[in-house]
Structure 1
C-alpha cells in the first residue's frame, strides 16, 4: 500500500521558511507524455476529475480550484484542459503571484482531466489563492504553497483547503487531509475496480469540530475564527499550543516500559522493546532504538519518530507515533491498537485528531501523519481508476 507518507514523497513535508512560505518538494510519478490541443503536456491515461460544489455557503462563481504538484521531474500545475505545465518564475504576475486558478462551471460539476503526477487539489472560497513561483534550494522553479497556519502568509485570510493524490501507472491514490489544518469539508469518491468514498462529514460536523477543539483544554487557540482549525503541531510552532503538552504522557510511557515489554507488530514481524538508559530499544526482525520524543516529535511524527521507508525502523516509528497521538501506548502493551473505542480516552491526547475522527461518517481522518496506522486514515486507492470526484460538502 502507498501510505500518505510515501504517496507524496516529500510534497507534503515541504520546508517552511521564516516568512511562512512552504515549498513543495519531490513527489512520485513519471508520466508518459501526450499533448493537449494547446500544446501543453498531458499524461497518457488521464482520469476525469469532477469537482462538485455542494458547500451551500459559496456559489460556483466564488470557488476556484488549483491542481499543483510534481510529475517526477519538475514542479507542475494543471490547466482547465488537463494540460500539465511546468512552474516558471515568469508565471508571477504584476502582483507577484501566479494565477493557476481553474474556475468552476456556472452550475453543476466541473470536469478536468487529471494527469499522472503527485500533488494537491486546492479549493479556495470567496477569494483566489496566491501561489508564488520561486527558486528552490537548487535554483529550480518551485511553488510556495499556502500555509494557513502562519498568520503572515498571504493566504491566511482566504478560506481554503486541499486533498492529496498520486496518479501513476499503478493507479490513483488519494486522501482528504487535516494534517496541517481543517477548514473546508471535502469528500472524495473514487470509481474504478470498485466504488469508494472517504472524507464525508456528518451533518453539522464542521461547526462541531470547531466547538470540540475550542472546548479541549490547551487547544482553544488553535481555532482561528470561523476560517480554520490549525493542527496542534503548527500551533506549537506559532506559540498557540503548549510545547510540553504531551510530556507527562510520554514520561509515563517511558517509565512503564522500563519494567515490562512493549511489542510492536509490523509487516516485518514482531519487535519486543524495553526502555534502558533513556532509549526505547526493540529487538526482533531488526534492532531499532528511539530516544524519548518531544511533544513536537509526536504531533509532527518527526524528529525521534521520523519514519524512513526502510521496512524496519519506519513502521515501528509509525506505530509508536500513532499510539502516542491516540493515547494508547501505556494502556496497550501490544501495538498497534486496532479498536478505535480505545483511542483518545486520556486527558492528555490529540484532541484535534479526536475531533476530526468524530466528525466523519466513516470514522476515518488524517488528523496526524501516522493516522494510516491500522487503517484509520481518510485514504482510498484504486489500481484501475475511471473517475474521481472531489465534493465540497455542506458547511
Structure 2
C-alpha cells in the first residue's frame, strides 16, 4: 500500500480555465452509459473527484449528490462502497453529474473496484503498482470537469489502454464524440504492441486469458515491463541537435508572434525570448521524464516555462524534436518516425477513428487529444464499445484507393477537420483509407467527408484535401481512363512525380495517363 499512497487524487485530471460565467448547463447533467461491449460481465460505475467550490475530495451518487470523503488511516483503510449499478450488455444507465465537480468516471466489468482512504485523500486503482488490489480487474475511466463554463470530457490512455469507450457531449454546438476505435481496434492495439520488439510485456493478461490492459510506457517501465532507458538514445540525439541550430517554440496557436529560441550547451537547453533574455532552461530529460512529462520536463502553471516544457514533451513523445525545428509540429505524418519511438502512442492514435487520443500527458499540444466539450451542455454519454469487431469504421462499401505506384490514398491522421491533407501512404486498411465512390454527384468520400480541390483551384499542382460534401465542382471526380477527372479544372487526381514517399500530398494535374494518375478502388 505504501507504493499507492502517492496516488491520492489531486484536484483535477482535466485542467480547465474557469472564467466567471453564468451557469450554462443544468445543475445535474444527465450522463447515459451504454454497454455495447459484447461481454456478459456486470458493470459498476463510480463518479470520483473534487468539489470545485470547496476543494474537498468526494464522490457523487447516481442522482448527482456530492459527498465528501471522511475518515482514512495509515495504512490506508478500505473506502465505503460507492459503486453505481451499470448497464448489462446492450443496455443503458443514466446517472447525474453535479455541476462544480472535476474528476473521473470509473467503470469496471465483472468485479467492483477497491478504493482506499488515507487521512490526506483517496488512493485510486493503480494496477501497474506492485500489490495493487485492482490488478486483476478489467476497468477503465474517463476524465471530466463540469463547471459554470461548460463540460470537458475525455477518454484517457495516459496510464493505460484497457476498455474501449467513446465519450459524447450534446449541447449548443450539437453532438460531439471522441475516443471511438476503428473496427476491431482493441485487438489491433494489443496485437500490434505485442509485435513490437521490447513491448510485448506491456500487454497484461489475466489467468483466464482476458487481456486486461496495455500499460503506457512510463507505467510499464516502472513495473519492469519495458526498458527504463528505451528512449534515451533518441532523446540524446534530438537534444544534441540544437547545439548547432536553433529550436523555435511558438507555444500559443493564437499568439504566433510569441516565440522562444532554444540552443543546447552540453546537456542543458536554454531558451531566450525575442529580446535575447534567457527565460527558461532544461536539463536533458530521461526516458521516464518524457513518458511522464515531468522531472526535467516539469511544466509549471505559468505562461513561459510551462508552455515550453509542454511543447518539448510532446515533440519528444512524437519523435519530431531534432528534425522539425519549429514546434509544436502539427503535421501528424511526421510523427513517430524516429527509432526508437513511442510505439504505444503511435499505435493507439492509428487505431482511433478520428486519429485522436490522450496517449501521453500533453497529447493535447496541437489538439490531438480525445476531448469533447460544450459551453452549454444538455447531456453527455459514455459508450463501452465492442471488445471484438465493432468500432468506428466506415461502411462495408469503403475500399482502398490504390495508386499504380503501390501506395494508397490516405486521409492524414484520420483527421476530420475541413482542410485535412489527403496524401499517399502505405496501404494499411485503416478508416483513413476506406474510400467510397458515390455515383450520384461523382464524389470520392472517406470518413463521411469528400475529396475536395483546395479553394476550387484549377491550376496544375493545386492540392486536394478533405472537406464537408457541398456539391460544388471542386468535389466532382469522374472515373475516366483508369483515373479520376475533375471537370471544373480539366485536370486529374495525381500523385506528384509518381512519388512513393509516405505523406506526399496529392494534387490535380494535366491528365496524362501515367502511373501517377491510375487509381484502383477495391
TM-score, with structure 2 as normaliser: 0.66
Q: Deviations over 1:356-393 (max 9, x none)?
A: 10111010001000100101010121111110101101
Native 8 Å contact 1:254 1:292 kept in 2: yes
Q: 1:56 to 1:105 in 2, by over 3 A?
A: closer
Native 8 Å contact 1:299 1:325 kept in 2: yes
Q: Deviations over 1:236-285 (max 9, x none)?
A: 11222111111111111122110011111112611111101421111116
Measure the CA separation in 2 of the matches of 1:20 and 1:181: 19
Q: Deviations over 1:183-237 (max 9, x none)?
A: 1001001101222100001110101111111111222211101111011101111
**1:349 pairs with 341, 358, 362, which one?**
341
1:1-395 superposed matches below 5 A: 17-19=2-4, 22-27=7-12, 45-59=27-41, 62-72=42-52, 73-89=55-71, 96-105=78-87, 108-116=91-99, 117-136=101-120, 142-194=121-173, 195-225=175-205, 226-267=211-252, 269-284=258-273, 287-395=279-387
Q: Deviations over 1:130-156 (max 9, x none)?
A: 1122211xxxxx221100212410000
Which is greater in Rg?
Answer: 2
Q: Matched residue pairs, number? A: 358
Q: 1:55 to 1:89 in 2, by over 3 A?
A: same
Native 8 Å contact 1:80 1:112 kept in 2: yes
Q: 1:393 to 1:105 in 2, by over 3 A?
A: closer
Q: Which runs of 5+ in 2 are unaligned?
A: 19-24, 206-210, 388-522
Q: 1:19 to 1:84 in 2, by over 3 A?
A: closer
Q: Deviations over 1:257-314 (max 9, x none)?
A: 1001111111261111110142111111661111100000000000111111101111
Measure the CA separation in 1 of the matches of 2:245 and 2:379: 50
Paired residue secondary structure (2:11): coil
Measure the CA separation in 1 of the matches of 2:86 and 2:65: 17
How much has 1:44 moved relative to structure 2? Answer: 6.5
Q: Which structure is higher in RCO with an 8 Å CA cutoff and minimum separation 6? A: 1
Task: Name the Cα RMSD after superposition.
Answer: 2.1
TM-score, with structure 1 as normaliser: 0.86
